[in-house]
Structure 1
Amino acid sequence: MLLDFICGTGRRGASLCGAVWLLAMGLYGCGGEPQVSTSYGVVAGKRDGNVLEYLGIPYAQPPLGELRWADPEPPQPWDGVRDAKLKGNACIQWATGIPAFTPNEDCLTLNIWVPAGEGSHPVMFWIHGGAQAAGSSNELQYDGRKLAQSLNVVVVSVNYRLLVSGFFALPALGSGEALSGNQAIKDLQAALRWVHEEIAAFGGDPGNVTVFGESAGSTNTCALLASPKTHAPERLMHKAIMQSGACDTLGIMTQEQAQQEGMKLLAELGCLDAAEPLQCARALPIAAIRDVIKFNLFTSFGWLLEEWPFRPGLVVDGDVFPASPVDLVTENRGYDIPILLGTNKDEGSLFAGFLAHPDDAEGYADFMEQRYAGQGDDIVALYPFADYQNAGSAHADMRGDLIMKCPTLNMARRYSAFNDVWMYSLEQDVFSVVMEVIALGFKKNAPPLGVFHTADIGYLFEFPLLSAILTPSDRTVRDLFQQAWGNFARNGNPNGDGVPVWNAFDPALNNYLVISGQPENRTDFRQGACDYWFQVGYGF
């Protein structure tokens, strides 16, 4: 490395020795640790094999005090060298007791993994999932080191506000300002803006940023694609990968609906009748606000949206989203952003498994009519009891279509009218100790896990606890995922080295690539079922 011998740190333009701060790989200080100068100060990371890591870098000020629920503000500059060897705090979310999820409002940080070698690398910006209510880039399964090394890309992961911190809307009350909601999306846009301005110093190409995410992270990828603020005044993203989630997977709220959620929470907090309701809520400990909601992600898998004690979701606020994100993202606004999107074969197993199901066909019909009033007969006809292992399996197939597959197909059909789209279905069974433990909580006549929701993550990031037990077919799937995602990040097309021919999506064919030990192109993705849900409406 050039400049390995240089010692000294400092603010931009004031480094010792008057050296120019370089470059794609950053600068090494006296102790051999990689250092990079940003607009806010110097960060010192660490080397892990052939990858440099810079962790827990703030992209915005902590949203504390008066900044709770406010738009993200740029971080404060710091003097000296900021240690960037540990990830930042997870954001406030549903209570788990798991250390990685210990809540803290001071959480607006990102992590960067940079492959060894000179040059300007494509950037892959990862958004974690968790139903907008949980999750963190701190999770071991989202370690970007292997992806950066295997694909020769810069990987960025981000923490953003969740649950009541990230989706809280209120009308103006007392002297307080109105809150439009969408704080989470504003955080992600702030993080992308930070990447646009700073990533070149780490070796990333700000003109080639792929945003990718899974579940709610995929929904938020779609949201960023939809929001005009992502594209102007600077273009903050250039490609999108959506894994198991579309803009409307978790529903979309009007401003009035979101404000009603906020007012309901204010009442539960005892702040609605205060002289200054917003100040009252801002003065409360955030954990106390979270605990009022009594939200548990695992049991909520079986809920309908109207059953959630607090509904975090995208809001048509006239600002981040001047119209419905679905309409915005499927209008041709000349952004020329290709997308790769898809789902897993058994998306619904988690969303049906936590509900008890009846034993026979008659009970199944009654269950569906009670759960989905007015649609029971149609659902039983589309998903006949006799075609499945049990009632839970039939319900899981239906929930997978309703929540994930049909929203994804709708996105592909509408977006492909003016941009390139590639669609996939992951159909390779995978064993997961974590998911098997979670499935111990499944109720009577539950579906088997199958190719469950989130199964794709282990293949893509090569999660260490998974890679040790990969079969030859699993390795084929892992290699396909990584090569296709890398090709797409570089060139806007998944085809290329290590990937079988993957036909672009054609709405006349509803075609997709089956990702399995024997990949193949197929047509008519969920044709009959999704045609029904397109007519009557779909979503969580």
Structure 2
Amino acid sequence: MTRHRTLTTLACVLTAVFAAAWAPAPAAGAAVATTVYTRDGLVRGAVHDGYRTFEGIPYAAAPVGALRWAAPRRPAAWTGNRDATRPASACPQPAGEVPGGSTDEDCLHLNVTTPDGAAPERPRPVIVWLHGGGLTTGAAGSYDAHRMATRGDVVVVTVDYRLGALGFLAHAGLPGSGTFGLADQQAALRWVRDGIRAFGGDPHNVTLAGESAGGYSVCAQLASPAAAGLFDRAIIESGPCTGSPDRPFAPSAVPLSTARGAGADLAAKAGCGSSHDVLACLRRVPVSRLLAAQDTDQQPAYATPLLPADPAAAVAAGRFHPVPVLIGNNHDEGNGWAAGIIQAGNPVTPATWPDVVAAFFPSPGQAKAVVREYPVHPADGGPVFGAVIGDADFACPTARTAGLLAAHVPVWRYEFADEHAPPLTPGTPPFPLGAPHASELPYLFDLGGRPRELTAAQHRLADTMIDYWTRFARTADPDGPSSPRWSRQTVLSLAPDHIVPTRTARFRHHCAFWSTLG
């Protein structure tokens, strides 16, 4: 099993995961209209049972034509009352989370969910959510935030930003190379700062939150000088700042020189490599051809104006925006990937295990060390493979990130550990997945507008998690009298039958081993 074949398989696996987990719910009946005046014009949203939604609001001009691979610009004002009762198109991406994919570049929109009723005495805290998807897939409209908004009495903003090559192309002489998607996120934060008060939100109490690539985007914004003053707290779910680009699962950043090399490869695949004006040629290429030519994973570029330093180095040096942070990972992050790769025809047995490890750790010395640290027996190949992925790419980098951040700012760390979390994929996996990557999301959101089937104990856990997350957004401290105590000195383990502090996470995930392996 070669590394290239493994990663190609992984792309197909994730497409199936997202298509199942985020499939949109059937359209609901007509809702009562509600109108708000934004900085650019009137928007007509919808009133639901206890909350209001305003969807598809443009926060930047459509990045089309000459604006493809340009910094986001303020959208033109409109006259009349803009329909904001349904999400706009997702940013261009292959089929997967978005059924059929998307080729619509007019995608720089956001959605606002706010509690209904009389205006509060004080503006509500604001949570700005950045979706995951490897910086290649995902959509703001996949995240129905009404439970978080109503239970936590907060305003939730979900954001679409440029993805894939359209979001992260790097090319010599192109301002903004490798960071257009991050620039979009900052443009959305500026929109929130300037206009969220119209929706009852407090522009001076903004929490930037995200999961997976969205969590890593939060890391990048912590390290970006251009994001100064745009948010007051940070929530990072399964997107540790100290990820490494030589690992295929956890998101990370790459040097500008590396990103430019990937950009040159893209231009060649798209038929523009020998053009006299490569960028002009690329701006004429249909979106579908760009999607076919781009790599399955994307990384933002550092050594750039927006991201001068690798976020991992910035965090290690203490050069990041000093805001409180809530950060965590899932107990079994890697199991979904391991199961998908096994189901795609790559068995993990004592005989095949050395070759499987070598596909991800090309250094013979590293591969042998991993095999010794994580021995495989006939009945446990899948879980062991999942543990390697989860420990190396998520649990231990999260622990390292939390420790580095805590030297400068208040940090609260969690581990989501519901071993019976609702599955995000149909069918029966080759082994029990436990609490894999993204499994905490149904406790915070109705993905695709569909509430997941939860037991009574899981509903209580979901309520408790929303309480923690929104208290953190309100006061910078998730702890409170209505929930089990959350101390900054421990990792809070979140499961239906126990919400308890633990000090053993580093040992359970072999973090001493990974710190010596490098």
TM-score, scaled relative to structure 2: 0.86
Q: Tell me, what secondary structure is at the counterpart of 2:462?
A: helix
Larger Rg belongs to: 1
User: Which runs of no fewer than 5 residues in structure 1 stay unpaired?
Assistant: 1-30, 294-308, 441-445, 506-510
Aligned to 1:508: none
Distance 1:287 1:482, change over 3 A: same
Distance 1:160 1:245, change over 3 A: same
Aligned to 1:443: none
Q: Tell me, what secondary structure is at the counterpart of 2:188?
A: helix
State the Cα distance separating 1:418 from its structure 2 match: 1.1
Aligned to 2:396: 406
Q: Tell me, what secondary structure is at the counterpart of 1:102?
A: coil
Aligned to 2:300: 314
Distance 1:320 1:534, change over 3 A: farther
Aligned to 1:250: 251
> How far, CA to CA, are the matches of 1:354 and 1:420 in structure 2?
37
Distance 1:392 1:72, change over 3 A: same
> How far, CA to CA, are the matches of 1:68 and 1:198 in structure 2?
26
Q: Does 1:41 align with 2:41?
A: yes
- The aligned amino acid for 1:317 is A
1:121 to 84, 106, 124: 124
1:487 to 459, 467, 471: 471
- Judge conservation of contact 1:170–1:179 (CA < 8 Å) in 2: no
Q: Does 1:241 align with 2:235?
A: yes
Which runs of structure 2 are paired with 1:155-174 in the superposition (5 Å)?
155-172=156-173
> How far, CA to CA, are the matches of 2:423 and 2:450 in structure 1?
9
**Any idea what the Cα deviations from partners look like across 1:468-487, whole Å, max 9, x if unmatched?**
63223212311221110111
Distance 1:431 1:529, change over 3 A: closer
Aligned to 2:504: 524
Aligned to 2:370: 379
1:426 to 416, 427, 431: 416
Q: Tell me, what secondary structure is at the counterpart of 2:234?
A: strand
Aligned to 2:426: 436
Which runs of structure 2 are paired with 1:275-424 in the superposition (5 Å)?
275-293=276-294, 309=295, 311-332=297-318, 335-356=321-342, 357-358=346-347, 360-373=349-362, 374=364, 375-386=366-377, 389-424=379-414
Distance 1:81 1:412, change over 3 A: same
- The aligned amino acid for 2:454 is L
User: Which runs of no fewer than 5 residues in structure 2 stay unpaired?
Assistant: 1-30, 244-249
Q: Does 1:513 align with 2:492?
A: yes
- The aligned amino acid for 1:525 is A
Q: Tell me, what secondary structure is at the counterpart of 1:170?
A: coil
Aligned to 2:201: 204
- The aligned amino acid for 1:192 is L
Q: Tell me, what secondary structure is at the counterpart of 1:321?
A: coil
> How far, CA to CA, are the matches of 2:89 and 2:161 in structure 1?
10
> How far, CA to CA, are the matches of 1:459 and 1:310 in structure 2?
28
Aligned to 1:17: none
> How far, CA to CA, are the matches of 2:272 and 2:359 in structure 1?
36
State the Cα distance separating 1:330 from its structure 2 match: 4.3
> How far, CA to CA, are the matches of 1:423 and 1:58 in structure 2?
34
State the Cα distance separating 1:251 from its structure 2 match: 2.7
Aligned length: 471
Compare 184-193 and 130-139 and name the one that shifted more: 130-139
> How far, CA to CA, are the matches of 2:407 and 2:468 in structure 1?
23
Q: Does 1:536 align with 2:509?
A: no
- Judge conservation of contact 1:181–1:317 (CA < 8 Å) in 2: no
1:132 to 108, 132, 135: 135
> How far, CA to CA, are the matches of 1:426 and 1:494 in structure 2?
15
Identity in percent: 33
Q: Tell me, what secondary structure is at the counterpart of 1:245?
A: coil
**Any idea what the Cα deviations from partners look like across 1:229-260, whole Å, max 9, x if unmatched?**
110xxx11011111111233323211100000
2:435 to 447, 451, 454: 451
State the Cα distance separating 1:369 from its structure 2 match: 3.5
Q: Tell me, what secondary structure is at the counterpart of 1:169?
A: coil
> How far, CA to CA, are the matches of 2:465 and 2:358 in structure 1?
39
- The aligned amino acid for 2:210 is G
Q: Tell me, what secondary structure is at the counterpart of 1:448?
A: coil
Aligned CA-pair RMSD? 2.2
State the Cα distance separating 1:434 from its structure 2 match: 4.0
- Judge conservation of contact 2:193–2:230 (CA < 8 Å) in 1: yes
State the Cα distance separating 1:181 from its structure 2 match: 1.0
Aligned to 1:55: 55
- Judge conservation of contact 2:486–2:492 (CA < 8 Å) in 1: yes
Aligned to 1:16: none
- The aligned amino acid for 2:147 is K
> How far, CA to CA, are the matches of 1:389 and 1:211 in structure 2?
42
Aligned to 1:21: none
Which runs of structure 2 are paired with 1:490-505 in the superposition (5 Å)?
490-505=474-489
Distance 1:282 1:212, change over 3 A: same
